[in-house]
A and B are shown apart, each in its own frame.
Chain A
Amino acid sequence: MSISKITYCHYLLISSPKIHADILWDLTVLFLTLGGLYFLFIFFFRNRFSSIARKRKSKRAELAPVISNFLFYTPQDPKEEQKEYVRLKIEIREYLGDKNFRKILANILFDLQRDISGDARNRLFKLFIELGLHHDSFKKLSSWRWNTVSQGILELSQMEVADSFQLISKFINDRRGVVRKQAEIAIVSLNDHGIEHLLDTTKYAISEWQQLKLIEAIGSINDYQPPKFKSWLVSHNKDVVLFSLRLIRHFNQNDAAASIAELVKHKNDEVKIAAIDCIQEFNFFDSVEILKKVFWKCNTKVKIQILDTVGKIGNQGDLMFLHEVSSVEHNFAIVSKANGAINTIAPDTVLPTRDIIEDLNTPIVRDKSGLEDSDFLQIDVDCDEVTYTQKAIGIEVDEVEVYDLVADGQSPETTELLSDEILGDGAETVSNIEIEESPLLTELEYELDQSLNQSLGLIDVNLDQTGTKDNLDELREGYQQMSSEERSLFLDSIEKPGHQEAISVLEFIVENEEESELRFRAFNKLKHLDNEIGMEEEIEELPVVPKPEDKLPEYSVFYELYRYASDLDSKAILINEMMDIGDEKEIPLLRNLVRTEQGKIKQLAGKALAYLTKKYPEEVLGSEVHETTDPTHSETLDQTNSSDTDQLAEVPVQNEPSNMTDDDIEDERIPLELCFLYDELGISYDKEDKKEDLGLNFELSAEFFAMIATENQNLEDQ
């Protein structure tokens, strides 16, 4: 007790408020009164609302048989029923003066019209007008409240009050969205020509949902005869154009081909896509040409739509366009769609090339004429047979036997023999060719086979220069006789069968081709080949640093790994590894990457190159020259980056004898059996004769046998 006293004395600031006790009582009474009033208020209104609801319910129950009587009355009914009908009509008219009664009656009719159909429903609409309930709805239209106006429009449209058409049509361009949309639906459902009036007068956008509701409203009209909606394709309101296109599709009005085709050129993409959908749905084949022309100026979405349409309604003549799209476009989706369209028109034309695992055990034919650039010919080389397939024209050559074919080490005799076997007996070779195209293409095919054989080293190009010239002349003549499609295929086939020949043919096409598209493609190819030749000439002009014969060519182990690195991360990791564990051999590869790659990879390659250059300064000059004289890596890498090219792309090109690859080094080595023989017999190996010793001929020479015989003789003599 003493403690509390002390505490109270020390803290004087804390003190109870000095309020008079009477005021507290007054406040208590006030709040209790307010609480009581609040509950009374709630109780009163709750009862009032309940009472009104009960009254309405009872009124509805009371009016239900009256309305039923009105609805199902017929003049043929018995007299008592007729009397009852007249009595009810008089009675109800007395009540119609009451606003609440009218409201209840209108609500009953609104509810019923949703649940009944047929003749009873039509009678219901008539009853609504006969009882004058539509006047209340008219009054609602002049309200300043948007919800009241909207309610009025809804009532009039639901009860099908045709007279309200003019009144409601004023709201078509109302700035209040809800009112406007309600008016649009009412206009369309009230009058068979309401849709025409709407399309003529509306200035606002018609949302897609609203379009669907309007179509639903049109669908509910009995025996509706739609107008020709193509008339509104010229509207200045793009939403009207879009809605018209939708209506054209809905009502299958396929007589608007020209207008729809023109809309493909519309500046609005939505209109374009809607028009393309129509073209696709109605199979307007003539519009495909316009689609192809418009294609190049469209965005990705429209391009995909166009390609989809071309794929569905296009024909063989459109393949050229699709191939061009596939080759020119960079967008994955577009290219995929183009390839899909090609395969739709001509199934299995485009085959999968990405991530296809090749048979790594298959020996690879070495090639000297740049065949690896060609995606025209696909060659599978087995141990003793060659199968090659011409994809573009559809020719298949199989089981051409090539005996002991070794590209680099063969003797001239062997080459000639093989040439005679394969090409000299043309009848036998051609007999295995299944030709699906015209005879003219057969000749072309033969020319291209020759190009292939030249590429394989089976024909010496220099032996038949005049023949080649004649062939080129024939080729040009033949080209002029080809159809557009054949010319396109032929142009596709000219990749790099031999620079000079290809250039001659391409020049001829550029000068003489009438079709601008083909001419353009030929020009691009010609430009490409010219660039390549220019690069090769520059490379030839550079000084060549001879390498010691006993030293392996510098070859980066990262080269192959990098080739198969498909994404940026993998490439970045490889470049970092080069920097960490690489040596001077990686410098040419890195230089190449700096030149060919972009962005992050280029930066990383530059960083790694700087690091390795600093680390191996003495190798820099030599590697620079070596890199320029050895286009193997750069070309192959370029291919890897540029395209999904054929399997032959992995064969490195050898343009100079001095640029030795692993295989060349391998060829220079003596077979192990021969080494043992030389050692046993004490014969010294002469490097000058190694090429004769190696290669195809492993038989021992006559000198060898003579020497053996002499030694045996000596042994016998001893």
Chain B
Amino acid sequence: MKPKRLLLAEDDTMLASLLKYRLEKDGYVVAVKHDGHQMKTAITEQLPDAIISDVMMPYFSGIELVDYLRNDLKTDIPIILISAASNEENVVSALKLGANDFIAKPVSPTELLIRVARELNRYY
């Protein structure tokens, strides 16, 4: 079975590296992008199977990403957002725009794995 390709957008390099390691350990192919421009370029080049993105990102926020994917690219690939617990308003906006799920920081890598697996199973 072909491993699922995930796009992880997180500006914190340490957290991104940690989550990448954990996801790769579970068999996913993970591409990490540290800002909105890189992420948008990566999406345009090749659409991943699922996207894990921080809400607060430089140049291109998580909400803009959801809007871009749902309204411009007209794709319904799973999007899981990572956000601070205090950022509830943005999360609600993102979910309204079509984000599939969200995880509050601090992130539990185990929890993230379960949510990613669930969304992928639901979609594919």
Contact = CB atoms under 8 A, between A and B. Distances in A.
A64 B18 contact: yes
A117 B82 CA distance: 13
Contacts of A117: 106-108
A121 B106 contact: yes
Interface stretch (B8-16, B42-50, B61-69, B70-78): B8-16
A108 interface: yes
B18 A116 contact: yes
A258 interface: no
B21 interface: yes
A114 interface: yes
B110 A120 contact: yes
A116 B21 contact: no
B18 A118 contact: no
Interface majority SS (helix, strand, loop, mixed), chain B: helix
Interface in B1-39: 12-15, 17-18, 20-22, 25
A119 interface: yes
Interface in A59-91: 60-61, 64-65, 67-69, 71-72
A120 B21 CA distance: 12
Contacts of A120: 18, 22, 108-110
Interface string B90-124: 00000000000000011111110000000000000
Contacts of B17: 61, 64-65, 68
B110 A119 contact: yes
Nearest to B104: A117
Contacts of B13: 57, 60-61, 64
Interface residues of B, number: 17
Interface in A111-136: 111-112, 114-121
Contact of A114 (B22, B106, B110): B106
A81 to B, nearest CB: 9
Nearest to B15: A115
Contacts of A111: 12, 14
Contacts of A57: 13
Contact of B15 (A61, A65, A116, A118): A116
A120 B108 CA distance: 7
Contacts of B109: 72, 116, 118, 120
Contacts of A108: 14
A166 to B, nearest CB: 29
Contacts of B105: 115
Nearest to A121: B106
Contact of B110 (A60, A61, A115, A118): A118
Contacts of B110: 118-120
A69 B21 contact: yes
A115 B54 CA distance: 12
Contacts of A112: 14-15, 18
Nearest to A112: B14
B21 to A, nearest CB: 4
A68 B107 contact: no
Contacts of A69: 21
A64 B109 CA distance: 15
Contacts of B108: 116-120
B21 A72 contact: yes
A57 B14 CA distance: 10
Nearest to A61: B13
Interface in A32-51: none
B29 to A, nearest CB: 16
B40 to A, nearest CB: 23
Nearest to B111: A118
Contacts of B107: 115-117
A591 B109 CA distance: 89
B27 to A, nearest CB: 13
B22 A68 contact: yes
Nearest to A120: B109
Nearest to B18: A68
Nearest to B26: A72
Given A118-B108, A118-B109, A60 B21 contact: no
A115 B21 contact: no
Nearest to A116: B106
A111 B14 CA distance: 8
A623 to B, nearest CB: 77
B107 to A, nearest CB: 6
Contacts of A118: 108-111
A71 B20 CA distance: 13
A108 B18 CA distance: 11
Contact of B21 (A61, A68, A119, A121): A68
A195 B107 CA distance: 28
Contact of A72 (B15, B25, B111): B25
B22 A115 contact: no
B30 to A, nearest CB: 12
Nearest to A124: B18
Q: Which of A64, A65, A116, A118 has the most CB of B within 10 A?
A: A116
A624 B109 CA distance: 97
A65 B18 CA distance: 7
B68 to A, nearest CB: 25
B21 A65 contact: yes
Contacts of A64: 13-14, 17-18, 21
A57 B18 CA distance: 15
Interface string A235-270: 000000000000000000000000000000000000
Given A60-B13, A61-B13, A115-B12, A67 B106 contact: no
5 contacts: A60-B14, A68-B18, A115-B106, A117-B108, A120-B108
The 4 closest A-B pairs by CB, nearest first: A118-B108, A68-B21, A64-B17, A117-B106
Interface of B: 12-15, 17-18, 20-22, 25, 105-111
Given A68-B18, A118-B109, 13 more contacts: A60-B13, A60-B14, A65-B17, A68-B17, A68-B21, A71-B18, A112-B15, A115-B15, A115-B105, A116-B106, A116-B107, A120-B108, A120-B109
